[in-house]
Amino acid sequence: MSHSIDNHTIYKTTTTLLLTALAASELFGQPPATLQADLNRTKAPVSPTLYGLMTEEINYSYDGGLYAELIRNRTFRADWSGILNWFLIENGTSSAKVSIDFQEGPSKALSSSARLEVVKADAQSPAGLLNEGYWGFAVRPNTRYTGSLFAKTAAPGALPVKVALVADQSGAVLASADVPVSGAAWKEYKFEMQSGSVAASSANHLEITVDRAATLWLQLVSLFPPTYHARPNGNRIDLMEKLAAMHPSFLRFPGGNYLEGGNIATRFDWKKMIGPLVDRPTHPSTWSYHSSDGMGLLEFLLWCEDLHMDPVLAVYAGYSLGGQVVKPGPDLDPFVKDALDEIEYVTGQASTKGGALRARDGHPAPFKLHYVEVGNEDNFDKSKSYDGRYAQFFQAIKAQYPDLQVIATMPVTGVRPDVVDDHYYKREQGMFDLVRQYDNTDRKGPKIFVGEWATREGTPTPNMGAALGDAAFMTGLERNSDVVVMASYAPLLVNVNPGGMQWSTDLIGYDALDSYGSPAYYAQVMFSSCLGDHTVESGLSGGGDKVFYSVTASANSKVCLKLVNAASTDQPIAITLSGLGGGTHPALLSSLKANTNWATNTITHPDQIVPVRSNVAVQGERLEHVLPARSIQVLEIDR
């Protein structure tokens, strides 16, 4: 036996498998494989920024997702059916009506408001408005909620306005605050409310009521639970913790198609998404719903700061998803200037115009920025204008920021991009076929950013078959990480409620209350948790065609061995790690496996497929091992 494992269950299993491994072929259904790696022979460097995140407003990723705002349609948008997500409350004998007042709003950006006219109400029969939230409101025990609203009233004196979180079924008030609104001028009111020892649930709604006849105008009604790092206007704690566990080194934002917009007017217009929320007009997103724009440019940067990620800033490049194109040349100049202003907002000292704006928004210190991406998927531009558009952005950015790496979204002629962004969305077999995609890439050409990729099997979140395709693909990324400098799965997030998803196969699922990682999420966690700084000379022979591996190492610290068996039978494998040396090497084995490719995690069964970790000891340089059927394993060995 070459190694032992101290977890009891795994120890017994592994011992049995090891004893039989060498006479294994008919027993395990696969001929034994041999993996040889020479730790003394470095092959290529591994990019320290290989694993990161890609994000956009899709699948209710921010609104109804990561962005912790609880109120849906806090700015009272309406359509032919009335004010979306808000409902009139007329309790008992009260009577009221609600309409949009297009003449009254607290700011230029929010120039309308909800006008609530209560004709009759009293303490027993209050009237007001109800918000349904993003498929409910998560209320947890002993939790503080922080709210604000803009209001004015025609009532004389102070009008007592009650804000409450109410259980849908029982009508019980779970938390509430009294907000005295006074005067005919718009003012912002802040309030807090605290839940008691209630059961955690999302089957709740919000009520805003008054107990007398009065007219009340409301705009920008907001309510936040506690957020990650207690940031005001911040992010959901459970989702941030799941992202942190992926050890991401960068965040590519703000999209994706969300950057492009359906047309030019609905692009990610960063200048309209900074500063106080009341100055953000909101906009229709590419993915069929409206964006509150609470997640604006600074919020993305703070997200990077919180998770120690480098921003990879994508700038709008004159092509929108619906086909609108801004011609290269003078027409494009204003958009290039917008991008330069945006870069200055991110990186400029507070003495610059952009830096001063950022300081006004509460962050005087500049952010570090190494990468700017020009556009998104410009291969879909039928006018074929990207060569010209990219060159115009490239030259302007390099003239002012020579150290920035400028990413192109497709191969271009004219200027030579620093990095090219490749996207892959495939079925499981398609990802296996891509495992060697970068083995022969020209090392003198641009670097590669795999800015979006996923094995698309399973919905809303990937199943084990997808995780196996992903893991196989990642072995190829690691082997070629001298040229593939960054990679990010997409889409990252999905709200699993009916209507929440616009794109199936998304890494992390959630509803208002809970969240879970898919098997593919755990594959990412495992791969990014152990990554050496170089690859070594290695080779695999024998075994089936669904066995994949990667060996990375860091001198004098660790060896990271990744093994993937996507076959439905166990795979015996004899591993030699030359140069590891004799003696005992403590190691950590993480193992993810399932009985079928369809096995998966769900919002109600979040932990069916999770990594099992165990401490093991590798004796000497040889391991006789059996890779279970449909498994992903990462072995981190101390050197």
Residues that bind ligand AHR (CB under 6 A): 56, 58, 255-257, 376-377, 452, 490-491, 503
We find the least distance from the C-beta atom of residue 626 to ligand AHR, in angstroms, to be 37
87 vs 537: CA distance, rounded Å? 65
We find the least distance from the C-beta atom of residue 504 to ligand AHR, in angstroms, to be 10
We find the least distance from the C-beta atom of residue 609 to ligand AHR, in angstroms, to be 23
CA nearest neighbour of 458 among 611, 595, 633, 597: 597
Beta strands in 332-478 (DSSP E): 371-374, 405-408, 419-426, 447-455
Closer to ligand AHR by Cβ: residue 28 or 62: 62
Question: Angle formed by the axes of helices 297-307 and 237-244, to 10°?
Answer: 50
153 vs 463: CA distance, rounded Å? 53
Closer to ligand AHR by Cβ: residue 317 or 573: 317
Closer to ligand AHR by Cβ: residue 58 or 485: 58
We find the least distance from the C-beta atom of residue 320 to ligand AHR, in angstroms, to be 12
Closer to ligand AHR by Cβ: residue 202 or 257: 257
We find the least distance from the C-beta atom of residue 321 to ligand AHR, in angstroms, to be 8
Give me the amino acid identity at 399: A
42-to-46, 130, 146, 484 alpha-carbon distances in Å: 11, 64, 54, 17
We find the least distance from the C-beta atom of residue 259 to ligand AHR, in angstroms, to be 8
Taking residue 122's Cβ as centre, other Cβ atoms within 10 Å add up to 14
Closer to ligand AHR by Cβ: residue 101 or 452: 452
213-to-124, 179, 582 alpha-carbon distances in Å: 13, 16, 85
509-to-488, 598, 612 alpha-carbon distances in Å: 17, 17, 21
Residue 437 has which token pair? 């995609």
We find the least distance from the C-beta atom of residue 103 to ligand AHR, in angstroms, to be 38
We find the least distance from the C-beta atom of residue 314 to ligand AHR, in angstroms, to be 10
Closer to ligand AHR by Cβ: residue 520 or 626: 520
Closer to ligand AHR by Cβ: residue 408 or 490: 490
We find the least distance from the C-beta atom of residue 395 to ligand AHR, in angstroms, to be 25
Closer to ligand AHR by Cβ: residue 223 or 408: 408
Closer to ligand AHR by Cβ: residue 377 or 422: 377
CA nearest neighbour of 552 among 564, 534, 569: 534
- The torsion of the CA quartet 600, 601, 602, 607, rounded to 10 degrees, works out to 150
20 vs 87: CA distance, rounded Å? 67
| Residue-wise DSSP of 591-602 | EEE-SSTT----
DSSP element (H, E) containing 501: none
Closer to ligand AHR by Cβ: residue 71 or 490: 490
587 vs 589: CA distance, rounded Å? 7
We find the least distance from the C-beta atom of residue 232 to ligand AHR, in angstroms, to be 29
Residue showing the smallest CB distance to ligand AHR in the complex:
256
Q: b or e along 73-105 (b: 16 or more beta carbons within 10 Å of the residue's beta carbon)?
A: bbbbbbeeeebebbeebbbeebebebebbeeeb
Asked if residues 422 and 448 have their Cβ atoms less than 8 Å apart, the reply is yes
